[in-house]
Structure 1
């Protein structure tokens, strides 16, 4: 994995101390998440390098953008990335587990947007790299814990957005429904036209209505990106 800084149009991500490097999932979620409800406060759960929080700082006028990271090296790197950005005064990172954060914060002011690119490998094996395993295995932050916690921290008109494997979509919708969170929009992501759906981008809210469901195809062929994908991420990637 690259140890080199990842340069976006308006900020740079240092990632040498993070187990999980910049990936398409995080960029997709940070660009896709709707800001139409004009969130004043945002929480990025499992921020890693700080990528999604920085993307939302670029895209929004939110005065408060909190991030949460349990792994110490990633936490320190996110703090550094925040401080080196143009939005350091709006960004704050907590070094804590999600369970203790929820316990501490659930009686405080709620967040208008909660967003997460959570760990989702559920296979029995581990890589042997404890930091990488913690960043990418679902037992570090089970989907149920994530959704339940988000429901406790979300404002009444807020959105909870996440990216998960398509194979987890049905499970996520069922868990959310049991905690009075309902899908507002679902975008299913495919690598190419002929490939299977790989990811689901889901936006939840407390209002129950018919969800908008669409599809996003990333590439026509290798490194030949679709217009939909380029339009979505054009404010971030240098070469798009």
Structure 2
């Protein structure tokens, strides 16, 4: 059934999610549209990039959000799962930015072997939960445990170090404990955190996710916070509403 207004995508399991300017079909993807991924797509500093890469694109969400925010960049999106890659390609083709978004159905290693031109910004929402239980659903398990099964933190960091241009940035979303692991591997690859955005359910609550941007130059880390909801309320916070107003139908 078509939903004209979709308002709370924290754990959306419907067959699609309708944004203001594009639609994400997701019935063939293990990992659905979720709020933290939407926040990543809205805060990543892609405005000046000319080449953007979305690693593990899934539905194509981050690639399409980047395309909406940057009206000229070429955007590549890599996805290992064939069904998800095909659906991401269809989502891109149905969007206003079909000519600029290119989905590659292959592993990151396979994509690296093609020797792509350097990227200004690489985005990744790797659903790596090292301590979580394996899902009985094989497709979802692959998506959630990529770190130990098909792509390690170190491999992602090394790819970014090899294929970012001199002033390029890598932005990654992870739970805080996993981000600590990733920061160590990124440092070994020569990439250092520059901005850390702490995402919380409400002001003062436990950190849900870190959205961290890395570059080649070590520098003091700028830390900011975003509460998804207002204190003692289920309503979206003013900051979240402002951030997502260009994307969510209900805002």
Q: Which TM bucket (shorter chain)?
A: over 0.9
Note the C-alpha offset of 1:124. Answer: 6.3
Aligned to 1:21: 32
Aligned to 2:168: 158
**3-state SS of 2:114 partner:** helix
Equivalent of residue 141 in structure 1, options 132, 148, 151 = 151
The alignment's TM-score, normalised by the length of structure 2, stands at 0.90
Aligned residues of 1:191 and 1:217 also touching (Cα < 8 A): yes
For the aligned residue pairs, the C-alpha RMSD in angstroms reads 1.5
**3-state SS of 1:158 partner:** strand
Residues 1:174 and 2:204 aligned together = no
185-194 or 122-131, which deviates more:
122-131
Note the C-alpha offset of 1:170. Answer: 2.3
52-61 or 191-200, which deviates more:
191-200
Residues 1:34 and 2:36 aligned together = no
Residues 1:128 and 2:136 aligned together = yes
143-152 or 89-98, which deviates more:
143-152
Residues 1:70 and 2:80 aligned together = yes
Question: Residues 239 and 124 (structure 1 numbering): CA distance in 2 closer, same or farther, change over 3 Å?
Answer: closer
171-180 or 157-166, which deviates more:
171-180
Question: Residues 209 and 64 (structure 1 numbering): CA distance in 2 closer, same or farther, change over 3 Å?
Answer: same
Structure 1 segments unaligned to the other structure (5+ residues):
none
Aligned to 1:110: 118
User: How far apart, CA to CA, are the structure 1 residues paired with 2:23 and 2:208?
Assistant: 27
Aligned residues of 1:119 and 1:141 also touching (Cα < 8 A): no
**3-state SS of 1:224 partner:** coil
110-119 or 223-232, which deviates more:
223-232
Residues 1:237 and 2:248 aligned together = yes
Structure 2 segments unaligned to the other structure (5+ residues):
1-11
Equivalent of residue 71 in structure 2, options 56, 61, 64 = 61
User: How far apart, CA to CA, are the structure 2 residues paired with 1:23 and 1:198?
Assistant: 13
Equivalent of residue 91 in structure 1, options 101, 111, 118 = 101
User: How far apart, CA to CA, are the structure 2 residues paired with 1:141 and 1:198?
Assistant: 23
153-162 or 122-131, which deviates more:
122-131
Note the C-alpha offset of 1:92. Answer: 0.4
115-124 or 84-93, which deviates more:
115-124
**3-state SS of 2:156 partner:** helix
Aligned residues of 2:129 and 2:178 also touching (Cα < 8 A): no
Runs of 4+ in 1 over 4 A off after TM superposition: none
User: How far apart, CA to CA, are the structure 2 residues paired with 1:217 and 1:194?
Assistant: 8
Aligned residues of 2:56 and 2:79 also touching (Cα < 8 A): yes
The alignment's TM-score, normalised by the length of structure 1, stands at 0.93
